[in-house]
Structure 1
Amino acid sequence: MKVFFQGLYYSFPVQLVLLHFKKFQVLLIFWYLLFSTVNGSFMNSFGAASLFLAPEYHGEVNFLSAAIVGVSIGIFIMSWNITTFILFSRHFHFLATTTKPFLKFCINNGIIPVTFLIYYFIEAIIFDTRKELMAPVEIAYLSAGFLTGFILIVAISLLYFFRADISIIRRLTPVITNPQLLKAQFSKRERKIHGSRVIRVQWYLNSLRRVKKVRDVSHYSNDFLESVFSRHHFAAVLSIFIAFIFLVIMGFWSDEPLFQLPAASGITIFFAILIAVSGAFSYFLHNWTLPFLVLLFALLNLLYRYDVIDPTNKAYGLNYTNRSERPVYDQEKLLDIMSEKNYARDKENMIGILNKWKAKQEADKPVMLLINTSGG
């Protein structure tokens, strides 16, 4: 029994979970937000949980709306896997000697995503049964929609990486099979592989049903294994970039009803982008990530202050470039507009309007409907 628990502790899935808590804990914040949103503890007063558990698309909760949320959750999980694969690859060099290393990483990195999916389905079934009063058939229909969207996006992502694996193998095969070419790829002072000081792995899931012992890769040079991982990293970064460009293009068409996705989908995709951006900063800047983000924030603040970046909405036909002719907009001017004199004049004018309206009515006490809405 002791040997079993020891092997379980030093298995790749368990060690990866521990690694997430040891390194780059900021990435776990996004998982915390998803868990807390689904269980209703985060932004409960705004009904955030219902956005995930009963998503609407064009005003209806149906198969398609659930499928879109499933796609967004799949994008988030794949973004999480890609980002952590890039950041943590130096801790598991043995994967570079296997076929389809990214797929194996996703399988072993599945504890947190699978836990979330199980928790999500439990909360969704409870919510749809008790609050939405749905029949079991309707709940099964929504669950099927979610799984369809989720499986579709994961399959597309893995297919992309399978093609990347084939391309990488084609490039490395002539080098690996020729000893002289292999030797020429590296300097004479090539570094040897040393085990990670952060995690210790003895077993890993080679597939969903097969456990395999970790190979000793100390006889490989570090440069060679890093060359394998670097090609996978490039494919991973490229996939994130393509997804980001696709989302930007969708943003330009956000006024079209077709692209008005469920709110939960937009939130989750936004989290996926933030994970990718956080991972990119950490990968390229290492310890300089925090100072860089502080400087970037200060720079953006200056650009906003001096209107170099202006996100405000513009009214069509007005000239916003000539600042000297703009009406004064400050507290003093607003207080002047809201003076007692202007207030009394506006009140008198409105009473006159109401008296004219009443004079046109046939009844002595006609029904008047008042609609009080916020202006701006």
Structure 2
Amino acid sequence: MLRLTTIWNAFIYSFPIQLFFTNLRRNHIILFCWIILFAMITGGFGKYLGVPYLFLDPEYLDKVNFTSFFIVGAVLAGFTTAFHITCYISDGHRFSFVGALSRPFTKFSMNNSIIPLAFIALYIKQVTVFQINNQYTTRSELFMYLLGLVSGFVVMTLLFFAYFWITNKDIFKYMVCRLDEKIKQNVRVTRASAMKKLDIARKKQVRVDNYLDYDFRFKKVDDSNFYDKQTIVQVFDQNHFNLVIIELLIFAMVLVLGIFKDHPTFQLPAAASFVIFLSIFVMLSGAFSYWFGGWSATVAMGLFLILNYLAGEDFLLSKTRHSAWTT
């Protein structure tokens, strides 16, 4: 009985399970986005409008091929990364031990992958069943479709995390550079939730006994208090800022796609376009929770609608044309 209790505690208090429970309790907007995607690929949403076919048989330049699935896989990797970023910004400080690990964001993302991996596995299954039963696809064609989907997801994920590995500090690098950082602190940026996060880091920690490491083995969490909580929160803040920067770059990329959307090359599969806008909304929620705290959802929704309007109405392109006409 004691052994069963030990095994149960090791499972229930593992980092992946606790992150999953935290998402269920706190990140309802993000979960709603995942539910929409799950419903779309299974036919539970928009079936009579043909929405599932946009994911199960995506077209790029009027063709269903390796490239079309590669694009969908790549944007799904972007959405998954947006999911990890938002969770890390919103809830990372509830797991202070992460800040004491090397590559904290990467390890956080590995342990936060229950939902994304479940989605990718189900998506592969749904594509396989649909292509075999409805499209009379050969095995070689199906293999290329799935290869495109998986390789797009993997390549884009590696590109994102290569940036994170280069820019994000762990606590050891942070302590070496601490003197230099103190000099830079003469110019401060006020964030509404900074003190609240510090208070949570001190008082409201989620119990975690073990976490999944790079070698895919579970390691015991070090409960020692060698690093003070404030230093760990500063590590989170530095990582958060780098994550917000990459979010803003993605927003700029989406605006460019909107401006040149009349060019066939920039006309992505409909499923990819939808996932991109879901990613924008999720990232806006995460970015503005960093700056505005409790107002994050409202500000994110407002800016999301504005970006959607600008991209859809050729706002920037029309301004350029107007300037050229008047000159």
Q: How many pairs does the alignment contain?
A: 293
2:78 corresponds, among 70, 75, 80, to 75
CA contact (8 A) 2:73 2:151 kept: yes
The Cα offsets for residues 81-130 of structure 1, whole Å up to 9 and x where unpaired, read as 11111111111110111110111011100100000011001111000010
Q: Give the structure with higher Rg (CA).
A: 1
Indicate the residue corresponding to 2:57 in structure 1: 54
Amino acid at match of 2:241: F
Indicate the residue corresponding to 2:133 in structure 1: 130
Specify the SS of the correspondent of 2:262: coil
2:176 corresponds, among 168, 173, 177, to 173
Specify the SS of the correspondent of 1:194: helix
CA contact (8 A) 1:100 1:165 kept: yes
Amino acid at match of 2:268: L
Change beyond 3 A, Cα 1:43–1:174: closer
Change beyond 3 A, Cα 1:272–1:109: same
Change beyond 3 A, Cα 1:76–1:129: same
1:194 paired to 2:202: yes
1:27 paired to 2:34: no
Q: How far did 1:258 drift?
A: 0.6
In terms of fraction of residues, the more helix-rich structure is: 2
Change beyond 3 A, Cα 1:92–1:192: closer
Cα distance between partner residues in 2 of 1:192 and 1:72: 33
Q: How far did 1:218 drift?
A: 3.4
CA contact (8 A) 2:101 2:170 kept: no
1:12 corresponds, among 7, 11, 15, to 15
Instruction: Write out aligned runs for 1:263-274 (5 A).
Output: 263-274=270-281
CA contact (8 A) 1:80 1:276 kept: yes
Instruction: Write out aligned runs for 1:304-343 (5 A).
Output: 311=313
Cα distance between partner residues in 2 of 1:203 and 1:121: 30
Cα distance between partner residues in 2 of 1:216 and 1:27: 30
Amino acid at match of 1:246: M
Amino acid at match of 1:194: R
Indicate the residue corresponding to 2:231 in structure 1: 224
- Unpaired runs of 5+ residues, structure 2, are 184-197, 319-327
Structure 1 length-normalised TM: 0.71
CA contact (8 A) 1:91 1:195 kept: no
Indicate the residue corresponding to 1:361 in structure 2: none
Change beyond 3 A, Cα 1:49–1:242: same
Cα distance between partner residues in 1 of 2:300 and 2:170: 35
Cα distance between partner residues in 2 of 1:209 and 1:23: 27
CA contact (8 A) 1:104 1:206 kept: yes
Indicate the residue corresponding to 2:167 in structure 1: 164
1:214 corresponds, among 198, 206, 221, to 221
Change beyond 3 A, Cα 1:233–1:289: closer
Structure 2 length-normalised TM: 0.82
Amino acid at match of 1:277: L
